[in-house]
C-alpha cells in the first residue's frame, strides 16, 4: 500500500476555511493523523494530511484538488509519496 503526505495552503483563509477543508479532505479519504509502526497515532501539523492506498500521484492530487476547490479559496497543493517516514514533536492523539 502506498502512503502519501499532502500539504494544502489556502490563500486569504481563516480558521473556519481550514475546518471546512478538513471536512472535505476527510470526504476524499484523507486524515490528519499518522500511525507509527508501534501503533501510536499522532496528529499531523495543521493543513497536512495523510492518505494510503493503491493510488498514484495523479489520483491523490485529483482528490486533494476536489477538496480544496470546495473551500472557494485559491489554494496550493504539495504531495509526496513516502519511501519511509520519521517525525519528532507531533502530539499523540
Task: State residue 45's pLDDT score.
Answer: 95
- pLDDT tens-digit readout, 43-86: 999 999 999 999 999 999 999 999 999 999 999 999 999 988 99
pLDDT level of residue 14 (50, 70, 90 thresholds) = very high
**pLDDT mean over 35-43:** 95
Does 9 fall in a domain?
Answer: yes
Q: Report how far residue 9's alpha carbon sits from residue 78's, in angstroms, rounded to the nearest whole number.
A: 9
Phi, psi of 81 (to 5 degrees): -95, 130
pLDDT level of residue 88 (50, 70, 90 thresholds) = very high
CB atoms within 10 A of CB 55: 18
Task: State residue 61's pLDDT score.
Answer: 98
Host domain of residue 26: 2-81
At 20, which CATH number?
A: 3.30.70.2360
CB atoms within 10 A of CB 30: 24
Amino acid at each position: 500500500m502506498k502512503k502519501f503526505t499532502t500539504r494544502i495552503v489556502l490563500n486569504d483563509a481563516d480558521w473556519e476555511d481550514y475546518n471546512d477543508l478538513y471536512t472535505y479532505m476527510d470526504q476524499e479519504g484523507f486524515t490528519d493523523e499518522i500511525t507509527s509502526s508501534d501503533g501510536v497515532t499522532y496528529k499531523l501539523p495543521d493543513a497536512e494530511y495523510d492518505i494510503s492506498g493503491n493510488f498514484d500521484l495523479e489520483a491523490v492530487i485529483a482528490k486533494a484538488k476536489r477538496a480544496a476547490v470546495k473551500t472557494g479559496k485559491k489554494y496550493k497543493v504539495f504531495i509526496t509519496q513516502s519511501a519511509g517516514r520519521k517525525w519528532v514533536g507531533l502530539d499523540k492523539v
